[in-house]
């Protein structure tokens, strides 16, 4: 070997040229890899990123609003406002003025016989009509505001998931829709008594809507029970206008 070609400067240069060439290749590979990876992104990946950004924005906005929102005060206020708003004209049973002769007559009306309605369904395992579940799902948007979108319960309503009332006698459920419910109620061994206005009547719903909503809650969130029919609701329409129910008015589940 020519001794003039083996000296520290040449070694130094060769070493750094080697490192440099390696770095250039590594850099090119990184660019190719990044491009290849970009091409393998599915539309779902792209949408996922957008969803995350939107979600983060919503979380930020909600956190901002909640700073000035006093949950403890707001819910009783809304409930009290609802409870004190009395209907003006008496045209429909659901507009009966409390204390009026009509209200008196209604409160003295004999208790309805619910044995037929609560009789076990002819075929308890009959499949549930998906169209009825769809109606119920739409109605449940409102229930979910108080009972939680998954029936888990919340600051404005007790749970429906796993509730013995929900899978229990059908007449209770229909009457709660038509008359509302107030006062302490025990659900799954817990006494709920923190709702100032209780649950208000929702008798404005059609028989089909009530049957749908009740069939839906009886067959969602892990619940399983027979369907409720519009005819069963119709049979109890005479309940509309009577005062809000209490737990004692209900058939034991």
Task: Point out which residues bind ligand HEC (CB under 6 A).
Answer: 139, 142-143, 145-147, 156-160, 163, 165-166, 173, 176, 181-183, 185, 187, 192, 195, 198-199, 202, 213, 217
Burial class (CB in 10 A: 0-12, 13-18, 19+), 18: exposed
Our CB check for ligand HEC shows the closer of 48 and 155 to be 155
What does the alpha-carbon distance between residue 44 and residue 39 come to, in Å, rounded to a whole number? 13
To ligand HEC, the closest distance from the beta carbon of 117 in angstroms equals 15
To ligand HEC, the closest distance from the beta carbon of 222 in angstroms equals 14
Our CB check for ligand HEC shows the closer of 187 and 240 to be 187
To ligand HEC, the closest distance from the beta carbon of 32 in angstroms equals 58
Our CB check for ligand HEC shows the closer of 74 and 145 to be 145
For the chain, first and last CA: distance in Å?
101
What does the alpha-carbon distance between residue 236 and residue 230 come to, in Å, rounded to a whole number? 10
User: Cα 204 to the chain's mean position, in Å?
Assistant: 21
To ligand HEC, the closest distance from the beta carbon of 134 in angstroms equals 15
Our CB check for ligand HEC shows the closer of 18 and 76 to be 76
Our CB check for ligand HEC shows the closer of 157 and 241 to be 157
Q: Which of 139, 90, 107 is nearest to 239 (CA)?
A: 107
To ligand HEC, the closest distance from the beta carbon of 85 in angstroms equals 13
Grouping H, G, I as helix, E, B as strand and the rest as coil, residue 192 is strand
To ligand HEC, the closest distance from the beta carbon of 237 in angstroms equals 16
To ligand HEC, the closest distance from the beta carbon of 135 in angstroms equals 11
Other Cβ atoms closer than 10 A to 79: 16
What does the alpha-carbon distance between residue 210 and residue 135 come to, in Å, rounded to a whole number? 9
Our CB check for ligand HEC shows the closer of 57 and 129 to be 129
Our CB check for ligand HEC shows the closer of 171 and 235 to be 171
What does the alpha-carbon distance between residue 229 and residue 170 come to, in Å, rounded to a whole number? 10
Helix axis angle, 207-218 to 130-147, nearest 10°: 80
Grouping H, G, I as helix, E, B as strand and the rest as coil, residue 181 is strand
């Amino acid at each position: 070997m020519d001794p003039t070609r083996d000296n520290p400067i040449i070694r130094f240069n060769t070493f750094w040229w080697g490192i440099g060439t390696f770095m250039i290749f590594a850099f090119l590979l990184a660019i190719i890899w990044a491009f290849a990876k970009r091409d393998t992104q599915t539309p779902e990946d792209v949408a996922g990123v957008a969803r995350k950004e939107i979600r983060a924005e919503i979380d930020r906005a909600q956190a901002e609003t909640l700073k000035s929102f006093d949950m403890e005060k707001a819910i009783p206020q809304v409930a009290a406002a609802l409870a004190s708003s009395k209907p003006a004209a008496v045209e429909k049973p659901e507009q009966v003025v409390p204390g009026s002769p009509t209200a008196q007559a209604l409160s003295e009306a004999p208790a309805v016989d619910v044995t037929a309605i609560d009789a076990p369904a002819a075929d308890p395992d009959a499949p549930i009509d998906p169209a009825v579940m769809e109606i119920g799902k739409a109605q449940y948007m409102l229930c979910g505001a108080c009972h939680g979108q998954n029936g888990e319960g919340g600051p404005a309503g007790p749970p429906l998931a796993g509730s013995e009332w929900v899978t229990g006698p059908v007449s209770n459920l229909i009457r709660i829709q038509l008359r509302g419910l107030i006062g302490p109620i025990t659900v799954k061994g817990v006494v709920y008594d923190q709702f100032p206005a209780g649950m208000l009547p929702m008798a404005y719903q059609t028989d089909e809507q009530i049957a749908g909503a009740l069939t839906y809650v009886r067959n969602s969130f892990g619940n399983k029970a027979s369907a409720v029919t519009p005819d069963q609701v119709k049979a109890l329409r005479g309940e509309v206008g009577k005062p809000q129910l209490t737990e004692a008015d209900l058939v034991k589940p």
